[in-house]
């Protein structure tokens, strides 16, 4: 196999995704591997797109957002449109993640307080039982 083409097995091993995931992305037209009989051959472009898909998913982007951003690559403006759109969506997702983190921090604080109260109550009950 050449350095520029990878089989589905090689993609699975390199990117830690399932073959089913790759076929799903192909069905959604996010990837478009070459075909050699029944064999799928993924190009450097497919590999770059998969990296972007996985990064986008990790950042919380919807697959449709990722598709739109990937499609902007081919606009011929040195990816300026793609970068602007990615930046705007990224800012929105960052704000949402920060809000989620604030909510989680508050929930953690509340739960910690409740557990500390519970520990004090249990210790009080145990001390009372030991005194009797």
Domain 1-58 has CATH 1.25.40.20: no
| Cα dihedral 106, 87, 59, 20 in deg (nearest 10) | 160
Overall residue count recorded for the chain in this entry: 132
Spatial distance between the Cα atoms of 50 and 1, rounded to a whole number of angstroms = 19
Cβ proximity of 90 and 59 under 8 Å: yes
What's the pLDDT tens digit per position in 18-44? 999 999 999 999 999 999 999 999 999
The reply to whether the predicted model has a pTM over 0.85 is no
pLDDT band at 15 (very low <50, low <70, confident <90, very high): very high
CB neighbours (10 Å) of residue 56? 22
| Cα dihedral 96, 102, 104, 108 in deg (nearest 10) | 180
Site of tokens 């009950």: 125
């Amino acid at each position: 196999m050449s350095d520029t083409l990878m089989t589905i097995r090689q993609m699975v091993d390199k990117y830690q995704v399932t073959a089913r995931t790759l076929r799903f992305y192909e069905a959604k037209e996010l990837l478009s591997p070459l075909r050699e009989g029944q064999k799928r051959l993924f190009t450097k472009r497919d590999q770059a797109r998969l990296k972007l898909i996985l990064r986008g998913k990790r950042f919380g982007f919807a697959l449709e957002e990722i598709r739109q951003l990937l499609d902007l690559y081919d606009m011929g403006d040195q990816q300026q449109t793609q970068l602007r759109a990615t930046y705007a969506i990224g800012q929105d997702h960052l704000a949402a993640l920060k809000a989620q983190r604030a909510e989680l921090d508050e929930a953690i604080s509340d739960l910690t307080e409740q557990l500390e109260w519970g520990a004090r109550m249990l210790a009080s009950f145990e001390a009372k039982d030991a005194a009797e």
